[in-house]
């Protein structure tokens, strides 16, 4: 009896400590290293992210334009932190709100973080960098509550392609990396010395994107995310991407990759939205008012039939 109790305690305390120290496989030592089980919904969920976005398997959609409030304003007092899994930026001077497209609600910007090697692939191509611009549905007071709802979070995904031209916005972030790079700096935010407008991290054309219902790509893997991954990619140099790979997640260990493995699409619909220049106002308005979650849900049902 005592032995059983002891075993349960050992099992669960190990489980808990793993849960708090989740991580990515070390692909340097073994390119085919298995992706670790993160537990909970990460292993059992059916609407997980990221996925491969393929034009030939996507439904075509046309929506009103996405609208962005204050994204052009230069943010002068941003904070940056190495959280051991990524570099995250937050503490915006202004309230930045997006709406429109197929979204039924307004979404407020919470934080921006990066993944080196992209998490989403487009037509099976993996890109060197993916920026996630994370928003909370204004109906919900905080992220913890928002993660309980299917329409709780919108993440804009921006992929970067290799170029000889350094990316100025990424350069502004890199300028501050030195201050958060070391293991001893984990979870100690610094003020970003260079200014940055969120707009600078987004493509010119925000009318073309893949959208689908998915999850956070880190534990808890909550299935609360409407993903909007732009099809237009931005340039970055490999030298710039290498800078991110030098941040430490453990004593003396560098975070060389922080992308989650691809997840099954299951019965989900992926919609490829293309900017509609000639739409009739009435029809477009009716489509948009349905709400993206509803449309994605209906489309998924049609897929099953």
Which residues are annotated as catalytic? 85
Neighbours of 274 (CB within 10 A): 14
What is the pattern of x (binds Zn ion, CB under 5 A) and - over residues 113-152?
Answer: -------------------x--------------------
Q: Please identify, using beta-carbon distances, which residue of 104 and 229 lies nearer to Zn ion.
A: 229
Q: How far is the C-alpha of 95 from the C-alpha of 90, rounded, in Å?
A: 11
**Shortest CB 214 distance to Zn ion, Å:** 11
Alpha-carbon torsion (64, 66, 69, 72), positive or negative: negative
| C-beta separation of 113 from 89 below 8 A | yes
Smallest gap, in angstroms, from Cβ of residue 113 to Zn ion?
A: 5
Shortest Å distance, C-beta 85 to Zn ion: 9
Q: Kindly tell me the sign of the dihedral angle through the C-alpha atoms of 88, 45, 97, 53.
A: positive
Question: CB of 294: closest distance to Zn ion in angstroms?
Answer: 25
Instruction: Write the binding mask 80 to 119 for Zn ion: x where contact by CB under 5 A, - elsewhere.
Output: ----------------------------------------
Q: Which is nearer to Zn ion, 87 or 271 (CB)?
A: 87
CB 244 within 8 A of CB 114: yes
**SS3 per-residue string spanning 257-279:** CCCCCCCCCCCCCCEEECCCCCC
CA atoms within 13 A on the CB side of 245: 15
Q: Half-sphere exposure (CA, 13 Å, Cβ side) for 116?
A: 22
How many residues belong to the site for Zn ion (CB under 5 A)? 1
CB nearer Zn ion, residue 114 or residue 271? 114
Of the pair 83, 195, the CB lying nearest Zn ion is at 83
The residues binding Zn ion (CB under 5 A) are: 132
């Amino acid at each position: 009896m005592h032995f059983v109790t002891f075993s349960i305690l050992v099992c669960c305390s190990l489980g808990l400590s793993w849960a708090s120290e989740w991580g990515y496989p070390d692909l340097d030592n073994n390119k085919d290293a298995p992706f670790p089980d993160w537990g909970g919904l990460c292993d059992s969920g059916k609407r997980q992210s990221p996925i491969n976005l393929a034009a030939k398997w996507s439904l075509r959609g046309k929506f009103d334009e996405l609208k962005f409030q204050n994204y052009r304003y230069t943010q002068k007092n941003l904070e940056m932190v190495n959280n051991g899994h990524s570099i995250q930026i937050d503490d915006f001077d202004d309230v930045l709100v997006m709406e429109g497209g197929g979204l039924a609600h307004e979404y407020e910007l919470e934080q921006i973080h990066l993944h080196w090697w992209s998490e989403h692939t487009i037509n099976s191509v993996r890109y060197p960098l993916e920026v996630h611009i994370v928003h909370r549905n204004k109906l919900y007071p905080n992220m913890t509550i928002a993660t309980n709802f299917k329409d709780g979070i919108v993440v804009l995904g921006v992929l970067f392609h290799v170029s000889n031209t350094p990316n100025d916005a990424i350069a502004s972030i890199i300028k501050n990396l030195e201050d958060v790079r070391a293991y001893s700096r984990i979870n100690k935010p610094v003020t970003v010395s260079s200014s940055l407008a969120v707009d600078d991290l987004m493509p010119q054309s925000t009318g073309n994107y893949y959208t689908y219902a998915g999850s956070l790509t880190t534990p808890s893997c909550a299935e609360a995310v409407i993903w909007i991954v732009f099809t237009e990619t931005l340039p970055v140099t490999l030298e710039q991407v290498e800078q991110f790979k030098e941040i430490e997640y453990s004593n003396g260990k560098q975070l060389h990759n922080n992308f989650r493995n691809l997840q099954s699409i299951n019965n989900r619909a992926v919609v490829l939205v293309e900017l509609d220049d000639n739409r009739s106002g009435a029809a477009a308005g009716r489509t948009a008012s349905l709400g993206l979650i509803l449309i994605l849900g209906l489309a998924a049902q049609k897929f099953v039939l």
